[in-house]
Structure 1
Amino acid sequence: MSVLRTQSANQAPAPTRMSYLRPAIVMTVLLTLATGVVYPFVTTGISTAVFNYRAEGSLIRDNGVIVGSELIGQNFTRDNYFWGRPSATSDTPYNPMASGGSNMAVSNPALDKAVADRVAALRKANPQSSPQVPVDLVTASGSGLDPQISVEAAQWQAQRIATARGLTLAQVNKLIDDNTSSPLASFIGRAWSTYLS
């Protein structure tokens, strides 16, 4: 009888539901604070201090007024500007809140019609250019927001811009060269031109 009494006195109390829930709740709160509050504030603070221009969205200013971002294209339609890739965003072109591709397959008749319409419009606006329209002027990028065009696309539009601005073709080509970025490590990817800045 004494043996049984000793064994029952040494046994720990049975765990309760709260003893299981308390560590889970504490860890959830701690990790939420660490990853949802502390980490974002620390990374934002460091990036703002070290890479301020990039951290604020690579904004382009003209006399102190924000006119765009290096990261998002704009819908230029006047003859004196470079025209970028078509935007796949719905309603408003280059809307960053609706970023995404058109997701149309190459077999989709709607894509064929859209490309044919874009080619016709570009040829009409650029009659002095080659009939072969660069593909990036008629197809949207994966994000639908890209501000870059190929060097070929910029050169294809050069005569129209030179005429509209009263410049020589050589002056416009120099602007293209001055705003062209080389491929990564000189061989990965393609050279591209930013037409917004």
Structure 2
Amino acid sequence: MPTPEYVLKLREHIGHDPLVLIGVTAVILREDANEVRVLLGRRSDNGALAPITGIVDPGEEPATAARREALEEAGVDIEVERLAWVHQLPRRTHVNGDQVDYLDLTFRCRWRSGDPVPSDGEMTEVMWRRLDDLDDLGSDDLRKRIELAVSGTGATAFGGAESASVERGGGGREVE
């Protein structure tokens, strides 16, 4: 999907300076014959394998953004079950020089319907993968997003990959 119009308008004013955007990750799970699978896509820009991701549009609820991205990128309808992780990603500089700081909201989602197909050009392929078959994920951060979404704690983790834990209460790390 091309850069949203509102981001292009902001860039007219700030150039390549850092821009804070809210991103969503939809960790979409499907149970088949006592086995849980996760929906992954191969990104068209860098070939990396990743869950469904995107940015929240102005005025859009983050859970709604996760549902929209799942439909746009993979052609599937999902139910957002819970917020699994809130964390700041490292600053990213795009090939055109634009700098972005993404605050990522990772959601645990359940597949409802639709056969996964690359729908909007952001993915070259989409597929269901077993949770023990994730060795070729694009990064450890993506693996952590899936781990926290799959965890059965029902809690939301806060902070970077090195500090995210699956504890309950206290310490400000997770809340129910």
Taking structure 2 as the reference length, the TM-score comes to: 0.24
More strand per residue: 1 or 2? 2
State which structure, 1 or 2, has the greater radius of gyration over its C-alpha atoms. Answer: 1
Q: Which has the higher contact order (CA 8 A, sep 6+)?
A: 2
